[in-house]
């Protein structure tokens, strides 16, 4: 049986609804691996409401905003890049002081949890640049 990819018909991109559940489950697994506090998780997701955060954590949401998916995408890229760069110590890296100019001696999680999506972007770029 032919699939969309083989039939010459472009595959339909997954919707936010399709991506929300897997993205949130992955995010919360990464948050556990990194030992993130609830407040840090909320900042990474761009949330101010604890009740919304708890709803998302329970998986009781149909679709999360595009901004949250973008943030999770950056977190996933940072996680993957760290696992490739530092297989044994990747999870600890986010809390260790970092002398790179981007972090000014502070742990990466402080930059990542600023609440600004741009900070997740620059940390992701930094990790990708370190990988070469």
| pLDDT tens per residue, range 27-50 | 999 999 999 999 999 999 999 999
What pTM value is reported for the model? 0.89
What pLDDT shows up at residue 6?
59
For residue 125, the model assigns a pLDDT of 97
Work out the angle at residue 87's Cα, subtended by the Cα atoms of residues 69 and 105, and round it to the nearest 5 degrees. 75
118/57 Cα distance (integer angstroms): 24
**pLDDT at residue 107, rounded to an integer:** 97
Tens-digit pLDDT profile for residues 71-100: 999 999 999 999 999 999 999 999 999 999
pLDDT at 1: 46
């Amino acid at each position: 049986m032919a699939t969309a990819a083989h039939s010459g018909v472009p595959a339909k991109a997954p919707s936010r609804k399709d991506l929300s559940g897997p993205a949130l489950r992955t995010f919360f697994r990464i948050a556990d691996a990194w030992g993130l506090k609830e407040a840090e998780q909320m900042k990474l997701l761009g949330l101010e409401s604890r009740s919304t955060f708890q709803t998302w954590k329970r998986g009781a949401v149909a679709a999360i905003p595009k901004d949250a998916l973008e943030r999770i995408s950056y977190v996933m890229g940072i996680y993957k890049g760290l696992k490739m760069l530092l297989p044994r110590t990747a999870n600890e890296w986010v809390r260790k002081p970092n002398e790179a100019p981007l972090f000014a001696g502070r742990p990466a999680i402080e930059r990542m949890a600023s609440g600004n999506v741009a900070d997740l972007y620059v940390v992701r770029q930094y990790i990708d640049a370190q990988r070469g």
